[in-house]
Amino acid sequence: MITERERQILRWIEDNPLISQQELASRAGIARSSVAVHISNLMKKGFIQGKGYLLQKNPYIVVVGGANMDISGRPDAPLVAQDSNPGK
């Protein structure tokens, strides 16, 4: 759950991702250290992803894996090295 103050700070950061904590504090009428706490909470809640205020816009999914396909073939005639060998 996000508080109204956190929502307000998040909007200001969305408008200007390079905004300083001091400027946020001035706009909100609170101490800079309080802004730091709100930003820390927003990071813990996943709304801010790191320094420079990288914002989480959409959830994402990561899929890790591989696919193998086995192909077998038979030549129509005895194999000839370094040549084309028709087959099935």
3-class SS at 35? helix
Is residue 55 predicted with pLDDT exceeding 70? no
Is residue 66 predicted with pLDDT exceeding 90? no
pLDDT value at position 51?
66
Is the model more confident about 16 or about 55?
Answer: 16
Is residue 77 predicted with pLDDT exceeding 70? yes
What confidence tens digit (pLDDT) does each residue in 38-47 have? 999 998 998 9
Distance of alpha carbon 81 from alpha carbon 75, whole angstroms: 12
pLDDT value at position 36?
94
Q: Where are the alpha helices (DSSP H) in the chain?
A: 4-15, 21-28, 32-44
Confidence of residue 49 (pLDDT cuts 50, 70, 90): confident
Domain ranges of the chain: 4-44
CA distances from 21 to 26, 67, 68 (A): 9, 48, 51
